[in-house]
Amino acid sequence: MLETRAFYYLRHGETDWNRSGCSQGRSDISLNETGRAQARTAAEPLASCGIATICCSPLRRARETAEIVNRRLGVSIVKIDDLIECNWGVGEGQVQGAWYHTWRDGGYLEGAEPYADFIERALGGINEALQHPGPVLIVGHGGVYRAIKTHARLDMGFSLANSVPVRHDPPRTDSPRWTATEIEPC
């Protein structure tokens, strides 16, 4: 179950592999210049959100994004291993296609972390992040965001773009569902 605390999520900035449509998984790819600019742009609206802690994946693209954003925020950055992207085995470096849908539907993919295990691990990483002083900004990956969508019962068809900050608010008596709101640049 997802901790019932408001938090922010930011998918890492663009990499060359994102641009070419390749699945990165655990491949440790750096941001490209567009990704660095995206992170700088994302920092501005986040600066007014009162972020107390940034938690990020240990992969370079997420760490770089967190560090760029933190130049504006000036808070603690905590690396959380369970926020790392899924290991897609033979799918890494490949364009998402039938293999990805088979894996996501619970099918076997050589060398890959099983989908259900990945979602539960990622949820553990998210919940670990939410134990830190908040509001918390989680800087992670598109795959890890599926754990949030699954456990917060958000629209599974929504694809989180690179470096678009999203605020997540837990259910309340006047709003019985989780809500996710993109934070617009100033």
Report domain extents, the chain. Answer: 7-182
User: Among this protein's residues, is 184 annotated catalytic?
Assistant: no
Q: Can you tell me whether residue 186 is helix, strand or coil?
A: coil
Of 14, 85, 92, 113, catalytic: 85
> Would you state the structure tokens that stand for residue 128, as one six-digit string?
């670990």
Closest among 77, 66, 61, 14 to 43, alpha carbons compared: 66
Read off the amino acid at residue 60: R
Residue 185 pLDDT level (bands cut at 50, 70, 90): low
Residue 162 has pLDDT above 90, yes or no: yes
Query: Could you give the percent of the chain with pLDDT greater than 90?
Result: 78
User: Among this protein's residues, is 141 annotated catalytic?
Assistant: no
Kindly give the residue spans of alpha helices, DSSP state H, lying in 88-114. Answer: 98-104
Q: Is 106 exposed, middle or buried (0-12, 13-18, 19+ CB in 10 A)?
A: exposed
Q: What is the pLDDT of residue 139?
A: 98
This prediction's pTM: 0.94
- State the average pLDDT over residues 70-74: 98
Q: Which residue has the tokens 């899924």?
A: 86
Q: Which CATH number is 7-182's, of 3.40.50.720, 3.30.1330.200, 3.10.20.30, 3.40.50.1240?
A: 3.40.50.1240
Q: What is the pLDDT of residue 145?
A: 94
Residue 186 has pLDDT above 60, yes or no: no
Residue 28 has pLDDT above 70, yes or no: yes
Of 12, 132, 141, 168, catalytic: 12
Residue 76 has pLDDT above 90, yes or no: yes
- State the average pLDDT over residues 118-133: 97
Specify the range with the lowest mean pLDDT, choosing from 31-35, 154-158, 169-173, 178-182.
Answer: 154-158
